[in-house]
Structure 1
Amino acid sequence: MRRELPQVLRRGSALLHQQCWLWGCDIRRSEGNLLLTYGFARQADLEGKRSTQYTLPLEHCSIVRLWGSGFYFGSVEEGVFLNRFAFEPRLVRFTEDWQDPVRLKEAPRYMDFQRLSAACGWIAEYEMWALLQFGKAYRRTCLLSGPDPAQEVEGIAATWRQLAKELAAFC
């Protein structure tokens, strides 16, 4: 059964908020930053106005960029930005101050469901890697201190895969 888009986006919003929490736990991990272990490059904002950016190059000239405020998935020129607290996809192009909150709110909505589905699939892959590499106990500790402590550790990746599937149904 195909769900209504607003319902899917609300679920995406809750999942992304939790995921940003998990990435934050991965960054602060006392034994070492998991994002760096995974292959991300860290880039601090030299002016101190924005949070640190983590960038991971993917195949076919795609990239993932993470901040405390959200998630970017796309090419080096443009892609979809998802705010941590609102799963409202925005089309962003990399210009000097595209991260400005006012400019992000003005950015057009971006309903490229294929790209959104791929972004959710990528998050599922990352979560499977984290679970396999660092175990249930580590992820459970992260979840217990986060926004949805009831989430099952084994279900994180599956939930992202399900969201990817639901978004792909809108293509």
Structure 2
Amino acid sequence: MRWAGLSAADVRTVEALFDQQMWCWGCDVRRGEGNLLLEYGGKRLPPAEPRLRSGYRFAVDPAYALTLWGWGLWVAAEGLGSLFMRRARFEIVWCASAHLAPRAWCERDLAGLLVISKLPDKRARRLLHTAFTWIADYESWIADRFGCSYRALTLAAYPQRGRCKNLLTADRIALAWRELGEKIRLSVFNQLEK
């Protein structure tokens, strides 16, 4: 099956890598020496209720906004719509309208999304490329700031490491996201040529 320019093996890699990435971000938030998502430029979004967790919003560039929660990632841009990557039961959902600052504290707050499995729209693919590239840039920043040792320690504590066939080593995470993003970018370019 082809999905947004990715092979079935790539899709399995994205699913495993995204769960691994979500684990890493959680560790980065709880880091004793300071929250790395804030240090990277994220704005903490305090939850509406104490029992809920914070979100983090990033201005990817003037046109794009990216929001992280413990349960997923949201990226949006005017003219491209909004895209959500769900952590549990991995899935990517997209809607044509752009919601740059969703007020959500749980997944059901993101009602009205169109579920898609093949990302047929080039706008959705551009958003996915942006998300993958942003993740790659973040992981490159982590490697530049700490070397591979910090992320290696994070991954050593990852509870799924024994069951996950697609677990990457710390020195490969940024490159893997960048390669996946490039495949998505090329699928958008190829779609425009048709």
Q: Does residue 148 of the first structure (1) align with residue 158 of the second (2)?
A: no
**What is the aligned-residue RMSD (CA, Å)?**
2.7
Q: Does residue 84 of the first structure (1) align with residue 90 of the second (2)?
A: no
The answer for the alignment partner of 1:118 in structure 2 is: 130
Q: Assess if the C-alpha contact under 8 Å between 2:71 and 2:107 holds in 1.
A: no
The answer for the alignment partner of 2:75 in structure 1 is: 73
Give me the whole-angstrom Cα distance separating, in 2, the residues matched to 1:6 and 1:45.
36
The answer for the alignment partner of 2:114 in structure 1 is: 108
Give me the whole-angstrom Cα distance separating, in 1, the residues matched to 2:12 and 2:111.
18
Gaps of 5+ in 1: none
Amino acid at match of 2:19: H
Q: Does residue 139 of the first structure (1) align with residue 151 of the second (2)?
A: yes
Q: Assess if the C-alpha contact under 8 Å between 2:17 and 2:168 holds in 1.
A: no
* Superposed structure 1 runs of 4+ greater than 6 Å apart: none
Amino acid at match of 2:145: Q
TM-score by length of 1: 0.84
Residue pairs, 1:93-104, within 5 angstroms: 94=99, 100-102=106-108, 104=110
TM-score by length of 2: 0.75
Range that drifts further, 30-39 or 71-80: 71-80
Range that drifts further, 87-96 or 115-124: 87-96
Amino acid at match of 2:137: E
The answer for the alignment partner of 2:191 in structure 1 is: none
Amino acid at match of 2:184: L
Give me the whole-angstrom Cα distance separating, in 1, the residues matched to 2:103 and 2:42.
22
